[in-house]
């Protein structure tokens, strides 16, 4: 399968209906977090007690951990649903690149994989939210590193090119590639869906969803393809 599957369906439309659901979801998460705060608070008080049996302590600790993890999930859900505020400022990927490479190397080292890249010093500036763009890239690199760790070659690459060098679209083109099991087109579309994951239960299955939604909010087109034992994500970033 050589063609890219583009995440265009995750470009959220603006309008009154979307604003209603954003407000609704934010309110629901807020109310849910209030309940979780009570559970976490009382379970913490229980854990302060010195005379607990081991089984009671384990149960209280599990309640405490679950409340904390659920709070984190709530924040992740808001991002995946397009409820994050995304700014549009002059962004220099050339300036961000050394920091991103350092973080990417740490992620890959943790997963026992190697990462290669290219020089990004000639990239022009563009309009984006640098914080959200960094979040997208690190989510994609983490996903690539974890997938590559399951393969024999254990390889990841992070490449970025100025307009006209990799494609003729007039975009800054960023590619994240990794060794990977073969995916069908159906697999790719499935992995883009919220809460879909092939990993352990500690993963929410929202990494690609968040990357697709945030990319769409920043006007970046995200494509995915898989062929010959390699997965590739292409971010086409409007230049200027």
Q: How many CB atoms lie within 10 A of CB 99?
A: 10
Residues 20, 11: Cα–Cα separation, whole Å: 17
Least confident of 1-15, 20-34, 114-128, 205-219: 1-15
Mean pLDDT of 109-132: 93
180-232 confidence digits (pLDDT tens):
888 888 888 888 888 876 665 556 678 888 999 999 999 999 999 998 889 99
Query: Hey, what are 217's tokens?
Result: 């909010």
Alpha helix ranges (H) inside the chain: 16-47, 54-80, 93-110, 130-148, 185-192, 207-217
Of 209 and 14, the structure prediction assigns the larger pLDDT to 209
Mean pLDDT of 38-51: 92
Residues 39, 43: Cα–Cα separation, whole Å: 6
CB–CB of 173/234 below 8 Å? Answer: yes
Residues 141, 105: Cα–Cα separation, whole Å: 9
pLDDT for residue 15: 82
The CATH code that applies to domain 89-238 is 3.30.565.10
| Domains of the chain by residue range | 16-80, 89-238
pLDDT for residue 1: 41
Query: Hey, what are 5's tokens?
Result: 């599957």
142-160 confidence digits (pLDDT tens):
999 999 999 999 999 999 9
């Amino acid at each position: 399968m050589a063609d890219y599957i583009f995440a265009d369906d995750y470009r959220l439309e603006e309008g009154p209906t979307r604003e209603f659901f954003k407000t609704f979801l934010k309110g629901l998460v807020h109310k849910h977090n209030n309940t979780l705060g009570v559970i976490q608070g009382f379970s913490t008080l229980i854990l302060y007690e010195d005379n607990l049996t081991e089984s009671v302590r384990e149960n209280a600790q599990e309640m405490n951990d679950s409340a904390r993890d659920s709070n984190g999930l709530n924040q992740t859900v808001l991002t995946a649903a397009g409820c994050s505020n995304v700014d549009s400022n002059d962004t220099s990927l050339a300036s961000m690149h050394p920091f991103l490479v350092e973080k990417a190397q740490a992620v890959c080292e943790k997963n026992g994989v190697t990462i290669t890249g290219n020089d990004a010093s000639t990239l022009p500036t563009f309009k984006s939210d640098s914080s959200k763009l960094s979040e997208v890239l690190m989510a994609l690199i983490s996903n690539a590193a974890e997938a590559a760790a399951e393969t024999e070659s254990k390889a990841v690459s992070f490449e970025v090119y100025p307009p006209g060098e990799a494609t003729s679209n007039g975009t800054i083109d960023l590619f994240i590639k990794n060794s990977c099991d073969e995916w069908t087109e159906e697999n790719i579309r499935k992995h883009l869906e919220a809460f879909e994951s092939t990993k352990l239960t500690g993963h929410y299955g929202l990494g690609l969803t968040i990357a697709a939604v945030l990319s769409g909010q920043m006007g970046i087109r995200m494509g995915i393809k898989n062929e010959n034992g390699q997965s590739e994500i292409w971010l086409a970033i409007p230049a200027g």
